[in-house]
A and B are shown apart, each in its own frame.
Chain A
Amino acid sequence: MQSDLVLRVAGESGEGVITIGETLCKIAAREGIHIVTFRTFPAEIKGGSCMIQVRLSERRIPYHGEGVDFLICLNQDAVDENLPDLKEHGVLLCEAECDLPEKNPGWTVYKAPFDRIATREIGSRISKNIVVLGALSHLLSLPKETIEKFISEKFARKGKTVLDHNLDALQRGFDFARSHLAKKDSYRLPKGSGRKRLLMTGNEAIAIGATAAGMRYFFGYPITPASEIMEWLAAHLPKMGGMVLQTEDEISAICSVAGASWAGGKSMTSTSGPGLSLMSETIGLLSMAEIPAVIVDSQRGGPSTGMPTKTEQSDLLLALYGSHGDATRVVMAPTSVSDSLRVTALAFAVAEKYQLPVIMLVDQALSARLETVDRETVERLPQGSRSCASPADGAPFVRYQLGASAVSPAALPGTQGGEHMVTGMEHDERGNFACDEETHTAMTVKRFRKLAAIESDPLVAEFCTRLGDENSEIGIVTWGSSAGPVEEALAVAKGMGISAQAIIPRILNPLPHQELKTFFGKVKRVIVPELNFVGQLATLLRSTYRIPTIGLTKVKGVPLDPSEIVEKIVEAESTLNARSTRAYGRAG
């Protein structure tokens, strides 16, 4: 039995494609199977093609899989668009009337009249997806009772008629498959550990991570693909005594965060590139006034409105440098859904401890994908809190004390004797505006010392990971969700007899210099895979460490494929063998 199964459901938006995929995920997660999914979204509200790919595995998987084992197509367009991705011995389950190419490389094909069963036998065309689920439960030996339970939960509030239609649809799909589709392939659900896993999207993980970190004030403005963070929090944060406010724009959102945070509440906003652009000025204010804030940017194809429903990693330079002046901020990027939980909590810990804005970069693919998460992840989240003073009565409070520590204790409004000014202007230790030469230098240094302190804080130690063969001369540096395909590519390359290694920093400002310098000292080639055109991380690495990099960039609105990375590894290896080069020993 195979340990991995890559399954894809494709059809038209509105046909219930996602419901099929999600139901499979829920069943599998309860069996303890590991899951990573990938979804595409049409830009249209109704109509347009959509698909969900689900990879199920016995072991932890970093990526949604390249090539499909089991393809389910609800219409002809879906067949035409997705059949090229079906593996040589893969399975196709499709609508009976679909035309297939004459050449069949070895596919097992099942056809079923889903449309006719739904329309004629049940009298409800929209129950077609449930008919498909019925057929699947036969073909993949899924527990039908569990599916029935899910359907009951999902449709109960829509009334008895709708629920009965759907239960009928499930039964009829199952019956049709049992009597007409004799199992000819060997694909099954992989074996689960039996230990139930949580199943959530990246956006949900961010919302959970923030809530667990104690965030209670969320201000935001709707934007694809980040809206689900605000939507989840709007439904659940008030239960925890918090609140969510949809503001008039992103500027109001980040400014409200600034106010709430200054007043002592852990606060957050989430947005996408266009919103982060609007927030730039306030990021400078947060930096200058030394106020904690967490800003999540779920990146999408840019610039401008770009491709709102497609993925990209092209806001790194904006996150690093956006806002005028020397504005300190921390930039983080989680690599997966469970990583999003941890890094979100880390973002709050660092923002509070160091009193500065933290920008966390995810992307559309990561935001939308479903993944299994171990419950323990939620129980072991990083923690950090704001240092607050107990002001002496009488003496004016010194908010921005220059001294041994990079961080000066705050006084929250309401604290006796702590009255003071915070300001976007350059200021002296008491917060009064000051434009003299010494003050501006001293205060700029104060703000940047915090970044140096973060780099060596044990809190962040585990957030830079190494993968692959630590003695290999081929190195990969990547960030965010591209880490998944990189991990997969390392395994593929290893299988081909090529060793390579990767380093994945979750904190991109300040960079983990020690780890990176050690890494660059060992490798002779540095490949930098990322989803943008100019090579934004590569640009940062070249300017920081003065090393040559091999760019691997892609702007197609979809994640990197491991094969694209493997190709680069192979290429790099051939140049390595051609002539020997010294390691980047003097990097940085």
Chain B
Amino acid sequence: MEELDKSCEYLSGVCPVWCPGCGYYGILSALVEAFADLKLPTKELTLVSGIGCSSRLPYFVKAYGFHSIHGRGLPIAQGVKTANPELTVLAVGGDGDGLAIGGGHLPHVARNNVDITYLLFNNAIYGMTKGQFSPTTTLYPVTKTSPFGLAGEAINPSALAIVYGATFVARGFSVKKEHLKELIIQGIHHRGFSFIEVLASCSSFNTTDMNVARIVKNLEMIPEDHNPEDAIEALRLAADQEKIRLGVFVRHQRPTLGDKFQEMRRKAKGKGAGNMEALLGQFA
């Protein structure tokens, strides 16, 4: 009961707009419980999102929230972290937001190793616009905009993040809240870009792809002896067609964007003094 109280301190009081039965409620619970476990001060907590059902999440959390435009949560989060590295920055968004319209940003935030945690809510459908296929739609091919089936193959978000070089890649499931909470805690702890794919069912427009019974039946935890620095093995696990693997695929350390900036500042200062007088000198 005490734990519940603590996590409730991270709720803003704004009532979620999600449908009854939406998998996102589970993600919200896991998220605020993770914040409570980490005892994160709300003033340093920053949530950035794009557009879509999942991107509404920042309204429901007591934090600094930025609900932006479709597909652009990641570059905005990159800007926030750059200007104030002290903040704990999370980006949230859906499969359409992050892999369709905003798909061009993911490789760059990953390769820059921006020290933020990105939760990609994967429900394999466009929910907010009421039922068009998304880049991860697979088993539910007949949608409002694909009445005769899908033209393209689905994207595997975790596999993609591994290939893009994200330094922390994990997959969770909204129903397995405790596990998801642990992944979020690990993601926030990780220094660098943390990518967490969260499977969640859309109760209104696609109950097939992320069907809870199907996922429960097929899920398998990543073996404890998996070496998270082995990206090839991680990719094999993430791309597994037979089993839905949950857990941490990849975790390794390399300098973050902030570290690189520090290094660049150091090198630049070796090339000249940091004041206007010195900068103007080159024009004299």
Q: Are A263 and B269 in contact (CB under 8 A)?
A: no
Q: What is the size category of the interface that chain B forms with chain A?
A: 35 or more
How many angstroms from the CA of A267 to the CA of B58 in the assembled complex?
Answer: 24
What's the count of A-B pairs with C-beta under 8 Å? 183
Q: How far is the CB of B116 from chain A (nearest CB, A)?
A: 10
Tell me whether A385 is interfacial, beta carbon within 8 Å.
Answer: no
Say which one of B83-91, B186-194, B210-218 lies at the interface with A: B83-91
Instruction: Say yes or no: is B273 at the interface (Cβ < 8 Å to chain A).
Output: yes
Q: How large is the interface on A (under 10, 10 to 19, 20 to 34, 35 or more residues)?
A: 35 or more
Is the CB–CB distance between A262 and B283 below 8 Å? no
Cα–Cα distance between A219 and B272 once the two chains are bound (Å): 22
Cα-based distance from A577 to B58 in the complex (angstroms): 68
* Complex A-B, nearest 10 residue pairs according to Cβ-Cβ distance, in ascending order: A259-B79, A265-B83, A238-B268, A256-B79, A260-B79, A255-B75, A260-B83, A259-B76, A239-B274, A263-B83
Given contacts A217-B83, A423-B67, contact A211 B279 (CB under 8 A): yes
Contacts of B14 in A (CB 8 A): 432
Q: Are A238 and B283 in contact (CB under 8 A)?
A: no
Instruction: State which of A244-252, A301-309, A480-488, A489-497 sits at the interface with chain B.
Output: A244-252
Of the stretches B24-32, B41-49, B236-244, the one at the interface is: B41-49
Contact pattern, A 212-240, Cβ under 8 Å of B = 1, otherwise 0: 10001101000000000000000111111
Residues of A close to B280: CB separation below 8 A? 198, 208, 375, 378
Contact residues, B27-85 vs A (CB, 8 A) = 42-46, 48, 51, 58-59, 62-69, 72, 75-84
Q: Which of B's residues lie within 8 Å of A, judged by CB?
A: 12, 14, 42-46, 48, 51, 58-59, 62-69, 72, 75-84, 86-87, 104-105, 107-108, 112, 257, 261, 264-265, 267-269, 271-276, 278-280, 283-284
B59 A433 Cβ-Cβ under 8 A:
yes
Q: Which B-chain residue is minimally distant from A251 (CB atoms)?
A: B72
B283 & A414 in contact (Cβ 8 Å cutoff): no
In angstroms, Cα B43 to Cα A413, docked, is 7
Given contacts A217-B79, A252-B75, contact A421 B87 (CB under 8 A): no
A residues within 8 A CB of B75? 247, 251-253, 255-256, 259
Provided the pairs A198-B283, A238-B261, A259-B77 are in contact, do residues A285 and B84 lie with their beta carbons within 8 angstroms?
no
Asked if A238 meets B269 with Cβ closer than 8 Å, knowing A252-B108, A419-B42, A421-B58, the reply is yes
Q: Is the CB of B105 within 8 A of A252?
A: yes
Cβ B279 vs Cβ A239 within 8 A: yes
Supplied contacts A289-B68, A413-B80, 20 more A-B pairs, CB within 8 Å: A30-B284, A236-B268, A238-B264, A243-B264, A249-B104, A252-B72, A252-B105, A259-B79, A260-B79, A262-B76, A263-B79, A281-B69, A375-B280, A413-B44, A414-B87, A416-B43, A417-B43, A421-B65, A421-B66, A423-B65
Shortest distance in angstroms between B18's beta carbon and chain A's nearest beta carbon?
14
Q: Which among A211, A238, A282, A431 has the greatest number of chain B C-beta atoms within 10 A?
A: A238
A543 at the interface (CB under 8 A from B): no
Q: Is there a chain B Cβ closer than 8 Å to A332's Cβ? A: no
A196 at the interface (CB under 8 A from B): yes
A14 at the interface (CB under 8 A from B): no
Q: Is A204 an interface residue (CB 8 A)?
A: yes
Which of B68, B87, B257, B273 meets A239, CB within 8 Å?
B273
